Amino acid sequence: MKFGAAAIGALLVLWLVFNFTDIKAQAKLGASYGAHIACSCRYIEGRSLASCKKDFEPGMELVSVSDDPENKRVNASVPLLAEAVAERRGEFGCVQLNEKEIAELD
C-alpha cells in the first residue's frame, strides 16, 4: 500500500516537472485575460469588480483580481505562478502593462 502511494506521488511530481512550463504559460494567459477583461468591464463599462468576475470563462477560478481605482488599474494573478496588470489609458482603452512597467509600479 505504501509503495503504491509513493509511486503515484512520484508520477505526479514527474508530471509536474515535465509540464511546469505549460502550466505556467496557461496561468499567465489566464491572468492576462482576466486583467484585460476586468479592466474593460470596470473602467469602460463602469461595472463593479464582483460583476466583472462573472464574465470570466470556465476554468478561470484560480484567477484573482483586484482594482486600483485611483490609477484605473486592475491586477490579476494566479497564486505562485503568474501576474498581469491592465490599466485604462484614455482613448486606447485598457492595455496590458509589460514586465518592466509592472516592476516600476512597486
* Residue tagged 514527474 (cell numbers): 14
| pLDDT tens by residue, 75-88 | 999 999 999 999 99
- pLDDT surpassing 90 at residue 62: yes
What is the pTM (predicted TM-score) of this model? 0.82
Categorise residue 58: left if φ over 0, alpha if ψ from -120 to 50, beta otherwise.
beta
Q: How far apart are the first and last CA of the chain?
A: 49
- pLDDT surpassing 70 at residue 29: yes
Q: Where are the domains of the chain?
A: 2-105
pLDDT given at position 17: 81
